[in-house]
């Protein structure tokens, strides 16, 4: 069964997270997906997601290593490859 709370991440696969802004329990995240963004108007290069009510924010590398998203952005641009319902609980 699909979980509507995380379904948006499947739309964003292959996107690169280029910047974030955190304010309490709210996260603003810029996701660059050029091939998808070109299809929408107005012209732009990123999607901006605003997530509120966050109690925990973790980043999992493809090898299962857990770090903070801020740390990952300091060394590069993390890519959204897939979602995992088990890690969202």
State the DSSP code for 35: H
When pLDDT is cut at 50, 70 and 90, the band that residue 20 belongs to is very high
Q: What is the pLDDT of residues 26-73, one digit of tens each?
A: 999 999 998 888 888 888 888 998 988 888 777 887 788 888 888 889
How far does Cα 24 stand from its chain's mean position? 17
Gap between the Cα atoms of 48 and 46, Å rounded = 6
Q: Which two tokens stand for residue 76?
A: 């590069």
Domain ranges within the chain, ordered by starting residue:
7-83
Is pTM beyond 0.85? Reply is no
**Closest C-alpha among 63, 49, 62 to residue 20:** 49
**Closest C-alpha among 44, 48, 62 to residue 20:** 48
């Amino acid at each position: 069964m699909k979980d509507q709370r995380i379904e948006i991440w499947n739309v964003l696969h292959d996107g690169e997270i280029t910047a974030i802004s955190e304010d309490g329990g709210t996260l603003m995240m810029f996701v660059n997906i050029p091939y998808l963004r070109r299809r929408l108007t107005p012209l732009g290069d990123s999607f901006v997601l605003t997530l509120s009510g966050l109690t925990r924010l973790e980043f999992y590398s493809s090898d299962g290593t857990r770090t903070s998203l801020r740390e990952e952005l300091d060394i590069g641009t993390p890519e959204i490859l897939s979602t995992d319902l088990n890690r969202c609980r």
